[in-house]
Structure 1
Amino acid sequence: MSEDLEFVNIFGDKVDTTKRIKPAKRESTGPEKYHKGWRVIGVSPEAIAAAKDERERAIQAAKKRNADYERGTNTRLGRAAVPPPFDESEWIKSAPLKPARSKPFEVPEAAQLCFDMAKKAGWHRVEMRVLAKGEA
């Protein structure tokens, strides 16, 4: 009962299922140069507070796990390394930069105003970037 299956398309023509068809590479239809506006990015005070809270939770969890291990109630996991205390300045140096606004600014003056307001609001490592390709 080892019959070979034959596949056909909607017109009844046999289809070879053993060969793979590579799709043609899509050509870019966009321009070589474009300009999409300006974006203000940086490290927000909320991100710093969230990272600080996360570090405190990690420290408390490690201390609890070590205390359980010392009491002998949780010996299968072993001891945990307690993370060092949160160092805000070191974290800011390596923190990912997030946009101050989800939509890019269309006017450079508006981006500059947002840049100034972010600085006054306590943002760190604030930058204003041009979203462009080529010499647009």
Structure 2
Amino acid sequence: MQFVNIHGQPIAAGSLGGGHVAAKKSKATPDSYHKGWKVVGFSPEQLAEARAKYVSTDGKPFDEVTFMRTNKPVRASKKPYVIHDAAELFKAMLERQGWKVVQVVPIAKGKAE
């Protein structure tokens, strides 16, 4: 029996890799893993500071929606929450204090935050 490649040229039987190749054991490390939850949003102080720095050449008022769309929200606390319900309670507390667009975001090692 003779094998040929896609161009019709004969291939030597030794180059087909007929020998036994032992499978390598792969280490079972995931690409990423869960490290907790963080709460992010726009604080009233952040919005007040942006409003104070805003200078309009057209006479237009400061637009919070545009500011929130073009800027990154800040993290509300440095320490991550292990329990999702605790992060949700903290989110509700921040919303009562006047924070805007508050979100609970998962933290995973190995992924971009």
Q: What TM-score bracket applies, with the shorter chain setting the length?
A: 0.5 to 0.7
Partner of 1:122: 98
Question: Matches of residues 51-90 of structure 1 in structure 2 within 5 Å?
Answer: 51-55=50-54, 58=55, 82=57, 84-90=60-66
Q: How many angstroms apart in 2 are the aligned matches of 1:87 and 1:99?
A: 22
Quote the residue 1:131 is aligned against: 107
Letter of the 2:85 counterpart: E
Moved over 3 A (4+): none
Counterpart residue type for residue 43 of structure 2: S
Letter in 2 for 1:108: H
Q: Distance in 1 between matches of 2:95 and 2:77?
A: 14
TM-score norm. by structure 1 comes to 0.51
Partner residue in 2 for 1:50? 49
For the aligned residue pairs, the C-alpha RMSD in angstroms reads 2.1
What stretches of structure 2 of length at least 5 have no aligned partner? 1-28
Percent of pairs identical after alignment? 36
Deviations 1:52-93 (A, max 9, x none): 1111xx45xxxxxxxxxxxxxxxxxxxxxx364322232233
Q: Secondary structure at the match of 1:85?
A: coil
Q: Report the Cα offset of residue 132 of structure 1.
A: 2.2
- Is contact 1:43-1:95 (8 Å) kept? no
CA drift of 1:101 comes to 0.6
Deviation (angstroms), 1:111:
0.6
Where do 5+ consecutive residues of structure 1 fail to align? 1-30, 60-81
Q: Which residue of 1 aligns with 2:3?
A: none
Query: Which of residues 59, 63, 67 is equivalent to 1:91?
Result: 67
Pairwise CA distance, 1:96: 1.3
Q: Offset at 1:133? A: 5.2
In structure 1, what is the equivalent of residue 8 of structure 2? none
Q: Which has the higher helix share?
A: 1
SS at 1:132 equivalent? strand
